[in-house]
């Protein structure tokens, strides 16, 4: 059976790598990924054939993984976090869809058995680090306009603001793109309090992890990079302090039963 594992390895801490993901990596001889994601796995990648493709080579990465699997090689396509959230899984299925439409010249891809293995996402890792910020309705929005027009992103932020969703921003800034986060902040400030709590989590679960809790009015792109997850609470999210411990949570409405 020609097989391709599409694996999310979690945010970085190997204790958050699921047993199913670890088993799939062990069963594979070929590992395709951005190099950092394989570095984070350490000895798990020992004796495997690594196929490291840099950022910006996502399409070639997906094609390579499908080609290797179609050749009968046990192959794993790997991303950190959950590979189905702003990651490589969707690109594999887009290529398969194109093949079915006759837009690709790789019919051998259609013989590959594909198994997608989820991982813990950055927003989950961040929310758990500070308590229960995602305790009620939430959404994720990528601020990268490389593939999605800014007007579309802006509309989604406005709708999330109108719906009072907790919002986790992926791809908040980059070296060439540093204004979208502040624009998103201003959109949210138009409909929720200035003191709305915000989680800024950098290198979540990794040795370099840093966690900051700030207010929405103080959110600034200069304090954020591509290794950072930004999650903004809704109008009811709470920041509580107990001695030297700080927590964020978003109530679900149990106050009506607790009264």
Same fold, 3-120 and 123-258: no
Structure tokens at 15: 């204790």
What are the residues facing 76 on neighbouring strands? 5, 31
Pairing between β-strand 75-79 and β-strand 3-8 as defined by DSSP bridges = parallel
pLDDT in tens, the chain (259 residues): 799 999 999 999 999 999 999 999 999 999 999 999 999 999 999 999 999 999 889 999 999 999 999 999 999 999 999 999 999 999 999 999 999 999 999 999 999 999 999 999 999 999 999 999 999 999 999 999 988 999 999 999 999 999 999 999 999 998 788 899 999 999 999 999 999 999 999 999 999 999 999 999 999 999 999 899 999 999 999 999 999 999 999 999 777 777 6
Count Cβ atoms below 10 Å from residue 59 Cβ, excluding itself.
13
In the DSSP assignment, the letter for residue 104 is S
At the fourth CATH level, the homologous superfamily of domain 123-258 is Tetrapyrrole methylase, C-terminal domain (3.30.950.10)
The CATH number given to 3-120 is 3.40.1010.10
Residue extents of the structural domains in the chain: 3-120, 123-258
């Amino acid at each position: 059976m020609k097989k391709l594992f599409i694996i999310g390895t979690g945010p970085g801490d190997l204790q958050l790598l699921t047993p199913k993901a670890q088993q799939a990596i062990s069963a594979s001889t070929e590992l395709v990924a951005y190099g950092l994601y394989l570095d984070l796995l350490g000895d798990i990648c020992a004796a495997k054939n690594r196929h490291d493709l840099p950022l910006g080579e996502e399409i070639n990465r997906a094609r390579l993984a499908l080609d290797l699997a179609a050749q009968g090689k046990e192959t794993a396509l790997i991303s950190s976090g959950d590979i189905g959230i702003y990651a490589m899984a969707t690109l594999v299925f887009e290529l398969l869809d194109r093949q079915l439409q006759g837009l690709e010249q790789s019919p051998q891809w259609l013989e590959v058995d594909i198994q997608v293995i989820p991982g813990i996402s950055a927003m989950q890792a961040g929310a758990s680090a500070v308590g229960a910020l995602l305790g009620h309705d939430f959404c994720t929005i990528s601020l990268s306009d490389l593939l999605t027009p800014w007007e579309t992103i802006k509309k989604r932020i406005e709708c999330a603001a109108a719906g009072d969703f907790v919002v986790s921003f992926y791809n908040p800034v980059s070296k060439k793109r540093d204004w979208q986060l502040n624009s998103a902040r201003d959109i949210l400030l138009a409909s929720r309090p200035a003191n709305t709590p915000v989680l800024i989590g950098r290198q979540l679960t990794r040795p370099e992890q840093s966690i900051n809790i700030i207010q929405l009015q103080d959110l600034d792109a200069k304090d954020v990079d591509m290794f950072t997850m930004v999650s903004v609470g809704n109008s009811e999210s709470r920041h509580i302090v107990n001695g030297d411990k700080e927590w964020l949570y978003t109530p679900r409405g149990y106050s009506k039963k607790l009264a």
